[in-house]
């Protein structure tokens, strides 16, 4: 089966009231781990690449690794998504490469750092939507800004999404799903607050914004960026074997699940996977300092990542839903958009 449009995965998640994890990739081992987890849990899955990942892998290599994943897992619905596209040209390039979904982050200007005006966001998002929908490709946009920096992208400030403006934005642009700013942020250091017990505390999220947006437009899937939980045991293991990570806290799974109950359908996870890979490799190097065969440390890192992702898929509720529906093609979605 070919790659499927992300819109279909999100529409099915709306029907079933579950979330679908979107996992970032940079290399073959990460893709293999994601697909192993999806196969084990029988989950539909979104694999996403940032502009930094595309530069790291070389666009052509990533495309063919993805095609291998599709060929090897015909029973798993897979969407390939561009994460944080900074311009129309970046989104266009991804679509030409075969991505079935793109994100245009018009909350920031094309430099990926300057907070953009609402008018700019509407203009660039609408342009991407018109181009993508004519080709059956799903579009995600962002309203408000998240904290943190991801692959050099981000203003490192939080501007919460206005529910009233969210309705206006979706109507004006025709986007398929909306990334909302509720206090989450990119990276491992989402919250550096230390509580009275000396331990880091989770960030305070504006969950009421999600509830209100969902009430106003229940059919529009929301996206939660910066949704890694930053497991403390992984941070501790990294530091035990020579790392120097600061004490920090991510998003508790309970809050993510609360978001899913209130309309969040796509959940972005990257940092947790990086932590798992790093912890595994550091441990192997510390215990076997003479090891030099990449297969001996990348293999276990891949297996550990697969286990972590499988747990996320179960927690998000997507497990068991891979065979619920007949997979659509981009041509199917073209006809859908034309008739809308």
Closest to 191 in 3D by CA, of 179, 200, 180: 200
Question: What are the extents of the domains in the chain?
Answer: 6-189+204-229+250-270+316-339
pLDDT for 226: 85
Instruction: Flag whether pLDDT at 336 surpasses 60.
Output: yes
Active site residue 83: yes
| Listed range (12-26, 192-206, 302-316, 317-331) with the worst mean pLDDT | 192-206
pLDDT for 2: 84
Q: Look at 251 and 320; give whichever has higher pLDDT.
A: 320
**Strand 138-143 and strand 177-180: pairing?**
parallel
3-state helix/strand/coil string of the chain: CCCCCHHHHHHHHHHHCCCEEEEECCCHHHHHHHHHHHHHHCCCEEEEEEHHHHHHHCHHHHHHHHHHHHHHCCCCCEEEEEEEECCHHHHHHHHHHCCCEEEECCCECCCCCCECCHHHHHHHHHHHHHHHHCCCCEEEEEECECECCECCECCCCCECCCHHHHHHHHHHHCCCEEEECCCCECCCCCECCECCCCCECCCCCCHHHHHHHHHHCCCCCEEECCCCCCCHHHHHHHHHCCCCCCCCECCCHHHHHHHHHCCEEEEEECHHHHHHHHHHHHHHHHHCCCCCCHHHHHHHHHHHHHHHHHHHHHHHCCCCCCCCCCCCCHHHHHHHHHHC
pLDDT for 169: 97
Residue 227 confidence class, pLDDT cut points 50, 70, 90: confident
| Listed range (69-83, 119-133, 140-154, 259-273) with the worst mean pLDDT | 140-154
Catalytic residue among 83, 105, 176, 272: 83
State pLDDT tens for residues 33-75. 999 999 999 999 999 998 888 788 877 888 889 899 999 999 9
Contact (CB, 8 A) for 43 and 313: yes
The 10 Å Cβ neighbour count of residue 336 is: 16
Q: Look at 245 and 247; give whichever has higher pLDDT.
A: 245
Residue 155 confidence class, pLDDT cut points 50, 70, 90: very low
pLDDT for 148: 46
Q: Look at 175 and 111; give whichever has higher pLDDT.
A: 175
Q: Which phi and psi (to 5°) does residue 117 adopt? A: -75, 160
Residue 8 confidence class, pLDDT cut points 50, 70, 90: very high
pLDDT for 198: 65
Domain 6-189+204-229+250-270+316-339 CATH superfamily: Aldolase class I (3.20.20.70)
| Listed range (56-60, 148-152, 225-229, 314-318) with the worst mean pLDDT | 148-152
Distance CA 249, CA 135 (A): 40
Q: Look at 231 and 200; give whichever has higher pLDDT.
A: 231
As given in the structure block, the two tokens for residue 95 are 């679509």
Largest CA distance in the chain: 62
Instruction: Flag whether pLDDT at 156 surpasses 70.
Output: no
Hey, which residues does 284 pair with through a beta bridge? none
pLDDT for 280: 98
Share of the chain above pLDDT 70, in %: 91
């Amino acid at each position: 089966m070919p790659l499927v449009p992300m819109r279909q995965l999100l529409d099915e998640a709306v029907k079933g009231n579950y979330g679908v994890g979107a996992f970032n990739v940079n290399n073959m081992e990460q893709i293999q781990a994601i697909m192993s987890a999806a196969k084990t849990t029988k989950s539909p899955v979104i694999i996403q690449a940032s502009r930094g990942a595309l530069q790291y892998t070389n666009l052509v290599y990533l495309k063919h690794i993805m095609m291998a994943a599709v060929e090897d897992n015909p029973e798993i619905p897979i969407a390939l998504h561009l994460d944080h596209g900074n311009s129309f040209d970046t989104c266009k390039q991804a679509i030409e490469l075969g991505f079935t979904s793109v994100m245009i982050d018009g909350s920031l200007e094309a430099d990926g750092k300057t907070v953009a005006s609402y008018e700019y966001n509407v203009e660039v998002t609408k342009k991407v939507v018109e181009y993508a929908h004519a080709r059956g490709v799903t579009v995600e946009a962002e309203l408000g800004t998240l904290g943190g920096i991801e692959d050099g992208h981000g203003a490192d400030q939080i501007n919460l999404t206005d529910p009233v403006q969210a309705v206006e934005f979706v109507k004006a642009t025709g986007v398929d799903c909306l990334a909302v700013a509720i206090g989450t942020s990119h990276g491992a250091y989402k919250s550096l607050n230390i509580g009275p017990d000396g331990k880091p505390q989770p960030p305070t999220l504006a969950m009421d914004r999600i509830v209100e947006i969902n009430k106003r437009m229940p059919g529009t899937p929301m996206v939660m960026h910066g949704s890694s939980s930053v497991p403390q045991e992984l941070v501790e293991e990294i530091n035990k074997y020579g790392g120097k990570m600061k004490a920090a806290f991510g998003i508790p799974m309970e809050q993510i699940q609360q978001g899913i109950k209130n309309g969040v359908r796509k959940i972005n996870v990257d940092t947790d996977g990086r932590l798992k890979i790093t912890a595994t490799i550091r441990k192997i190097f510390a215990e076997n300092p003479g090891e030099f065969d990449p297969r001996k440390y990348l293999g276990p890192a891949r297996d550990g990542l697969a286990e972590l992702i499988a747990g996320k898929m179960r927690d998000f509720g997507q497990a068991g839903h891979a065979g619920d529906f007949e997979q659509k093609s981009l041509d199917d979605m073209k006809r859908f958009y034309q008739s809308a």
